[in-house]
């Protein structure tokens, strides 16, 4: 598809990443999805639909169009020169199709903790206009969590910095630090969550890694970086909604006083990602729960005005 904007999506096969992938494809983006496993296995509805429509379906349709049976056969009564001319035209048309059409969805295998692999990936896609990282690992292994959440995203930020301004925006999906209201009010943008409650100390590697990644992105890509900070609980439309939706409404009053961040619906988060990469005039920096919801309200109002 000529003229598509290209998104490099890292970690796009997880719960949040698959929604970002779906929204980007629906909005006309060409997406290169980089994960450890490459092409995902069946079983996730959004990914299955994306594979059928934008990956397998694309390849099948174009391979079928190039199959000999799909071409017009020459007249058996015509002379050899006419048939040769017809075959030459077919070959030229095939080359033009291969040059003009690129698949809207591509999967590549990548270990983002390897800086050389990340640099090579960025170099292989010089027409990338936006990079989104959904990479993260919630594990009690402090070292592993910090390596995946921190080091991997630092490598991505370094690669984007090396590439230069051709990549107009990088979006990092982070997480709101778990802190008391007092430490939240007194902390700076890059403050580490030192006052984690005891039950969350097992996740300290996750939060330290996220803060390291935020620092790398915001300091090295000023004016181009957006950090999204949802709460630790992002829910969808399935069973998680039975817990997430009422919990979100219940915790909103406490959030007003800076005591906690409510759960967030994954669609709100995915739309915020899309807004960040499509509208480079939106302010860079940290987008928290309130910012993402306010942008969602603005979009709904704009859609309603268009319908009128």
Beta strands in 168-233 (DSSP E): 169-173, 225-228
The percent of residues in the chain predicted with pLDDT above 70, rounded, is 73
Q: In the CATH hierarchy, which fold is given to the domain comprising 6-68+82-180+189-233+264-307?
A: Rossmann fold (3.40.50)
Q: In which band, very low, low, confident or very high, does the pLDDT at 95 lie, cut at 50, 70 and 90?
A: very low
Residue keyed to tokens 């590549």:
108
Task: For residues 277-302, give the mean pLDDT.
Answer: 86
State residue 48's pLDDT score.
87
Dump pLDDT digits (tens) for 101-144. 577 999 999 999 999 999 999 999 999 999 999 998 888 888 89
Q: Which residues contact 176 (CB under 8 A, 6 or more apart)?
A: 229, 230, 231, 232, 261, 288, 289
pLDDT above 90 coverage of the chain, percent: 50
pTM for this entry: 0.79
Q: Which residue has the tokens 């598509």?
A: 4
Predicted pLDDT at 4: 76
Tokens at residue 288, please? 């928290």
Give pLDDT, residue 203.
Answer: 76
Output 65 or 155, whichever has higher pLDDT: 155
Q: What is the mean pLDDT of the segment spanning 278-297?
A: 90
Domain ranges in the chain are 6-68+82-180+189-233+264-307
| Higher pLDDT, residue 92 or 49 | 49
236: pLDDT strictly greater than 70: yes
Q: Are residues 113 and 155 in contact, defined by beta-carbon separation less than 8 angstroms?
A: yes
pLDDT of residue 131: 98
Question: What was the pLDDT predicted at 41?
Answer: 87
């Amino acid at each position: 598809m000529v003229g598509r904007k290209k998104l490099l999506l890292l970690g796009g096969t997880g719960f949040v990443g698959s929604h970002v992938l779906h929204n980007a494809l629906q909005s006309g983006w060409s997406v290169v999805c980089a994960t450890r496993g490459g092409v995902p296995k069946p079983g996730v509805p959004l990914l299955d639909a994306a594979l059928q429509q934008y990956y397998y379906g694309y390849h099948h349709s174009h391979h079928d169009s190039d199959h000999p049976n799909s071409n017009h056969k020459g007249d058996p009564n015509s002379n050899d020169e006419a048939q040769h001319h017809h075959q030459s035209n077919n070959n030229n048309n095939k080359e033009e199709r291969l040059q003009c059409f690129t698949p809207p969805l591509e999967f590549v295998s990548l270990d983002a903790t390897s800086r050389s692999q990340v640099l090579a990936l960025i170099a292989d896609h010089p027409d990338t206009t936006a990079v989104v990282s959904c990479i993260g690992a919630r594990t009690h292994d402090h070292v592993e969590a910090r390596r995946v959440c921190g080091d991997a995203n630092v490598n991505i930020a370094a690669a984007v910095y090396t590439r230069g301004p051709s990549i107009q925006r990088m979006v990092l999906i982070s997480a709101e630090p778990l802190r008391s209201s007092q430490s939240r009010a007194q902390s700076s943008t890059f403050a580490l969550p030192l006052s984690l409650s005891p039950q969350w100390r097992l996740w300290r590697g996750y939060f330290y890694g996220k803060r390291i990644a935020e620092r790398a992105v915001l300091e090295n890509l000023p004016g181009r970086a957006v950090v999204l900070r949802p709460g630790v609980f992002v829910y969808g439309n399935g069973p998680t909604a039975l817990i997430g939706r009422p919990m979100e409404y219940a915790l909103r009053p406490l959030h007003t006083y800076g005591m906690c961040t409510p759960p967030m619906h994954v669609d709100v988060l995915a739309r915020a990602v899309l807004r960040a990469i499509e509208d480079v005039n939106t302010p860079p920096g940290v987008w928290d729960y309130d910012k993402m919801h306010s942008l969602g309200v603005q979009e709904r109002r704009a859609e309603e005005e268009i319908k009128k």
